[in-house]
Amino acid sequence: MTDSLTILFVGGTGSIGRLAAARAAAEGHRVRVLTRRRNANVPAGAEAVVGDLTDASTLTAAVADIDAVVFTHGAAYQSPLVRDVDYGGVSTSSRPSGSVTSGSPS
């Protein structure tokens, strides 16, 4: 691989995200995994970055200098946060950088 990317995985400690993050790291990409826990078990070769999808102020470090974001996150179906996490997470994570857009017309 000649060009490596810095990729943020949101949900990178889950069953699907863990596999995708590990594969990206194995392919030579710089991998960051957003996690709510400091001691999270992230895939080998990945950097853990602590943050919360429901609080944009905690995401600045996670989105700094990234080339791509992969969303594999999800709240538990019965969780009261399901709407904020599953649907609000994309727009919340785009706020700290100011460079990511939702694709919706202004």
Could you tell me the mean pLDDT of each successive run of 10 residues in the chain, 106 residues long? 85 87 95 90 92 85 91 67 57 52 39
Non-local CB neighbours of 105 within 8 Å, separated by 6+ positions: none
The Cα 32–Cα 43 span in angstroms is: 10
The Cα 60–Cα 77 span in angstroms is: 27
- Please tell me the predicted confidence (pLDDT) of residue 84: 61
Token pair belonging to 45: 């070769």
Q: Are 43 and 31 in contact, with CB atoms under 8 Å apart?
A: yes
- Please tell me the predicted confidence (pLDDT) of residue 32: 95
Q: Are 37 and 50 in contact, with CB atoms under 8 Å apart?
A: yes
- Please tell me the predicted confidence (pLDDT) of residue 6: 96
The Cα 43–Cα 10 span in angstroms is: 13
The kind and range of the H/E element at 94 are helix 89-94
- Please tell me the predicted confidence (pLDDT) of residue 27: 94
- Please tell me the predicted confidence (pLDDT) of residue 29: 96
- Please tell me the predicted confidence (pLDDT) of residue 23: 94
